[in-house]
């Protein structure tokens, strides 16, 4: 058993995730977005009309947190949602033109961070590394 917590896999993963989150927070601040807001805009760009629950799952936040994210994006004029829905309680969200513009500017900053991560792993090891990350995540699925 390893006694040095800094040598444990979970610690190293958390350290990498914290570094990624910090870099994204800093970059997105310049675009007046948070990481969950950015993730939400990315998902809505790919799949317009997603519900709160679908967005929460896709951005790894709770539905309650996603409600706050959506209200903030809506009040900033970056998304629209109908006041009521024909499909129960789900209020599908879509990007506005301003939302698309903000996303495009923020995306360049986030992709640059992702490229730094990609460049840190030798090209010959990337497929195995990605497979390992997927396996790690799956090992903890309930």
Mean pLDDT of the 51-80 span:
94
The class (CATH top level) of 5-139 is mainly alpha
User: For the residues 55-75, what does the mean pLDDT come to?
Assistant: 95
Chain-wide mean pLDDT for the chain? 93
* pLDDT for position 111: 97
Structure token pair of residue 6? 């800094």
Contact 51, 91 (CB under 8 A): yes
Cα distance between residue 14 and residue 29, in whole Å: 22
Residues 6+ apart with CB under 8 A from 39: 58, 59, 60
pLDDT for 17: 95
Note the pLDDT of residue 88: 61
Domain residue spans of the chain: 5-139
What average pLDDT does the segment 20-28 reach? 97
- Residue that wins the pLDDT comparison between 126 and 92: 126
Contact 87, 128 (CB under 8 A): no
Cβ(96)–Cβ(77) below 8 Å = yes
Token pair in block for residue 85: 């829905």
Beta bridge partners of 95: 79
Specify the pLDDT at position 91. 76
């Amino acid at each position: 058993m390893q006694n040095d917590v800094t040598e444990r896999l979970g610690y190293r993963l958390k350290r990498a995730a914290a570094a990624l989150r910090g870099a994204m927070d800093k970059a997105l601040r310049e675009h007046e977005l948070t990481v969950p807001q950015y993730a939400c805009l990315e998902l809505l760009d790919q799949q317009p009309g997603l519900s709160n629950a679908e967005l929460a799952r896709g951005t790894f936040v709770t539905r309650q947190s996603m409600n706050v994210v959506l209200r903030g994006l809506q009040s900033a004029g970056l998304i629209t949602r109908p006041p009521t829905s024909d499909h129960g309680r789900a209020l599908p969200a879509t990007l506005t033109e301003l939302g698309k513009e903000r996303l495009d500017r923020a995306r360049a900053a986030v992709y640059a961070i992702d490229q730094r991560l990609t460049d840190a792993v030798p090209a010959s090891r990337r497929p195995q590394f990605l497979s390992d990350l997927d396996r790690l995540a799956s090992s903890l699925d309930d």
